[in-house]
Amino acid sequence: MSSQSEQGDRSEPGARSEPGGAGLDPGLSAIMNERRQLTNLAYRLLGSLSDAEDVVQETYARWYAMTRPQQEAIDSPGAWLTKVAGRICLDLLRSARVRRESYVGEWIPEPLPDGTEWLDGWSGGSTADPADRVTLDESITMAFLVVLESMTPAERVALVLHDVFRYSFAEVAEIVGRTPAACRQLASSARRRIRDSQGPATPAAQRAETVREFKEAWAAKDLDALIALLDPDATATGDGGGLVAARLLPVEGGEQVARSVIELALLAPDLVVLERTVNGQPGLVAQLDGVTVAVLAFEVVGGRIRNIWAVRNPEKLRPWTDDD
């Protein structure tokens, strides 16, 4: 589950190189080397790119609030920045649980804006990171992020920092405020949640073909074809945020999901559905008059669609319309 590309040649979490010479301002050096790392971390912890960028800004604001001697006294600015960002995220996660109790309908993580088309085949996703900000790997798939949402804030932080970013439990403990042994237990509990949620692996090309067939059956309003593509226990979850029409509860059961898809096709005959990469996986983007009105992410298990997540909240979709 680790994101090796984010670790580069770091010998330890928080270590930093000095491109361009050792005489760089330590604050500037930290920004050059750690901004993307912090964004990657905060997005996985919060499920929102906009919130992640706010966390990074706040982290750097705290760095620059220190005097130059205080900055120079810090052996590893990268480790310091990660610790501060992790603690900010932990506080936000705790408050988010309260805020989401009042959220209208289901809350789905914000999909990463990515206009990559996979019409001519699937090679594993975009060759460039969305907005060059978040590294793509299995830890940013919608299925993974949704499972993270079911964890306690401490479990989530422990799992992501240790398993994805390879920080030691001693370092995680400094952020979470618990002992290394307790953090090890938190990560172990989180891993069990991940394992329990996963089905047999499906080859990437097969996932793409299944989503394409779903799109074609949707366009044809072919109920039988949709039912055949959906797992009998399939679930479709929509997120309108109370700003647009969306079912307040997930639709459960393959046939029920298929009928709801047909209903949507009948209600919106001018909908244009595009094949686009969504969080590193084959997904669909629905547009009306050139404006993105829904981003759909899929979980395909055993050649059938087990989960559909449809983000319709316009606040989460604004970057998709801008990028298209």
CB 126 within 8 A of CB 112: no
Q: pLDDT for 108-137, tens place per residue?
A: 999 998 767 765 555 555 544 554 556 667
Q: Which residue has the tokens 């938190």?
A: 186
Map out the domains of the chain as residue ranges. Answer: 9-109+151-197, 204-323
How confident is the model at residue 121, as a pLDDT? 57
Euclidean distance between CA atoms 71 and 75, whole angstroms:
9
Count of H-run helices and E-run strands, the chain: 13, 6
CA nearest 280: which of 152, 109, 34, 46? 109
19 falls in which pLDDT band (50, 70, 90)? very low
Structure tokens at 156: 């989530």
How confident is the model at residue 32, as a pLDDT? 62
Q: Which of 29-33, 66-70, 117-121 has the highest mean pLDDT?
A: 66-70
How confident is the model at residue 322, as a pLDDT? 58
Residue 8 has pLDDT above 50, yes or no: no
Residue 321 has pLDDT above 90, yes or no: no
Strand order through the sheet with 230-239: 251-252, 230-239, 304-311, 291-301, 281-288, 272-278
Euclidean distance between CA atoms 170 and 177, whole angstroms:
10
CB 219 within 8 A of CB 270: no
Least-confidence region, from 44-58, 132-146, 151-165? 132-146
Domain covering 204-323, topology: Nuclear Transport Factor 2; Chain: A, (3.10.450)
With respect to CATH, is domain 9-109+151-197 assigned 1.20.140.160? Answer: yes
Structure tokens at 47: 């499920």
Checking phi first, is residue 102 left (phi over 0); if not, alpha (psi -120 to 50) or beta?
A: alpha
Q: pLDDT for 227-283, tens place per residue?
A: 999 999 999 999 998 888 888 889 999 999 999 999 999 988 999 999 999 999 999
Q: Percent of the chain scored above 90 by pLDDT?
A: 62
6 falls in which pLDDT band (50, 70, 90)? very low
How confident is the model at residue 135, as a pLDDT? 66
How confident is the model at residue 13, as a pLDDT? 32
Q: Do domains 9-109+151-197 and 204-323 have the same CATH topology?
A: no
How confident is the model at residue 18, as a pLDDT? 35
- Phi/psi for 170 (5° steps) reads -65, -40
Q: pLDDT for 295-317, tens place per residue?
A: 999 999 989 999 999 999 999 99
Task: Compute the mean pLDDT over every residue in the chain, rounded to the nearest whole number.
Answer: 85
Alpha-carbon dihedral sign for residues 279, 280, 281, 285 = positive
Q: 74: burial class by Cβ within 10 Å (0-12, 13-18, 19+)? A: middle
